[in-house]
Amino acid sequence: MNVDDEDRNTPVEVRAPRGATTTQIEFADGHQGLYPHDLLRGYCPCAQCQGHSGPIRFVPGGDQVLSEIAEVGNYALRLTWGDGHSSGIYSFNYLRRLCACEQCGHGDLTQRTFSR
Ligand SMILES: [Zn+2]
């Protein structure tokens, strides 16, 4: 199975109740993705957070209140944080790899790296 199958990885429902510290994303194939906001913020893929080279890694700090989720094109979500940071574009494929559910996430989830 191709891990970067965009059809499979398209979110069909995003549940981020106001005040919640975890967002749930249901994908087209039925997978229930789990995203603690500290992980989502730490793995913000933007150049400001990640620099311009190397894999995407966990960067601690930053506001972890998720204030807005917007779809970008048909391939990504843009997340806006309580401190106004909004340059992170999370592709559906990246979100799928970032999933922290029991099935996908093992060990210390802040130690993972992701290719760009
Ligand atoms: Zn960022």
Closest by alpha carbon to 82, among 52, 49, 38, 113? 38
Q: Report the alpha-carbon distance of residue 12 to residue 26 in Å, rounded.
A: 6
Distance in Å, CA 22 to ligand 1 centroid: 18
Q: Tell me the percentage of the chain whose pLDDT exceeds 70.
A: 97
pTM: 0.93
- 63-74 pLDDT per residue, tens: 999 999 999 999
pLDDT band at 116 (very low <50, low <70, confident <90, very high): confident
pLDDT band at 111 (very low <50, low <70, confident <90, very high): very high
Per-residue pLDDT, averaged over 8-26, amounts to 94
The residues placing their C-beta within 5 Å of ligand 1, an ion, are 44, 46, 49, 88
Q: Report the alpha-carbon distance of residue 57 to residue 50 in Å, rounded.
A: 7
- At residue 18, the pLDDT reads 85
Distance in Å, CA 57 to ligand 1 centroid: 11
